[in-house]
Structure formats: C-alpha cells, structure tokens
Amino acid sequence: MIARERWIEVCANQALPERGFLTLDILLYGGEIAPCLVFRFKGRVFAYRNQCVHMVRRLDGEQRRIFDEAGELLRCTMHGIVYQPETGESLSTLCKGEKLTAIKVVENEGRIFMADKRVSAIIGKGTRSSCIGLRSGFPDRSPTV
C-alpha cells in the first residue's frame, strides 16, 4: 500500500451502502484512463478495473447492476460471466480462474480512498470528495444518488 499522503479520496463511507457500487474513471500512471468499479460487499469495500476478463466490456455495461440476482456474485451484464466479489476470480467455465484487476482501496476516518500506486487521479464528473456515478447493486433496493 502507498503512503497515506498519496491516497486519493473516493467518497464518504456512508455514501456506499451494502451491495451499492460506484463507477468512475481513473488515471493510471503512464496516462491510461481506465474504468473502475468500487463496491461494498459483506461490509468491506472492494475496487476492480471495470472490465470483464471475457471481453473488453464494463461489468455494468448492459444494465445498471453488478451483482447476480442473489446478490452474492459479481456478474457481467453482457454475457453473464460471474466473479467472486472478494477475490475477483471468475467462476464461469469459459474464464475459470481468470481475475478482474484489483485496485487497492481503504476505509479510514469515515472516508474511502484509493491507495494503489498505479492510480494517479480520479477523473470524471463531480469532485473527488463526492461519489461519482453511484449506483445500487439492486436498483429496486436503493435509490440512485
């Protein structure tokens, strides 16, 4: 993990409810812009590059959701590839064992931060101190913010 002074603020931790998620674009060192997914699952916050291992598509590209119907697995809305939320590992036969690219995140003093040396900035609409593109993992359970 990188030094605290290099953490990049994402949002307040209460802004990300259980199974809620936000999407944002991150600027990687080297200049590449990558879509990112930050979500809460079983009380912990996780972040991955928002790109299915099967095809170069966002997990939420077809629908405004990232979890399967049971809310226990991440699911690509394009072809249904499923992933273990805690590890990013694909459980689908087609991509078994392949993993989403994890981005290090931490919760500290009521805030969520990116703490990954590959990330140089969060870019997109809004400010770094507000959640950008926050969506509920279950559209019928939580309102879009």
| Residue with the two structure tokens 């064992």 | 97
pLDDT 10s digits, 85-144:
999 999 998 889 899 999 999 999 999 999 999 999 998 632 222 333 344 333 333 333
What residue type is 37 in one-letter code?
Answer: L
3-state SS, 72-138, equals CCEECCCCCCEECCCCCEECCHHHCCCECCECCEEEECCEEEECCCCEEEEECCCCCCCCCCEEECC
- Rounded to an integer, the average pLDDT of 11-15 is 94
* Residue type, position 35, single letter: P
Task: Quote the CA–CA distance of 66 and 96 in Å, as a whole number.
Answer: 18
pLDDT digits (tens, 9 = 90+) for 28-37: 999 999 999 9
Choose among 46, 16, 22: nearest CA to 35: 22
Residues paired with 47 in a beta bridge: 38
In the three-class reduction of DSSP (H, G, I as helix; E, B as strand; rest coil), residue 14 is classed as helix
Tokens 């990687």 belong to which residue? Answer: 28
CA within 13 Å, CB half, 47: 24
Structure tokens at 41: 């699952």
Given this model, what pLDDT does residue 124 score?
A: 65
Decide: 45 and 112 in contact? Cβ < 8 Å.
Answer: yes
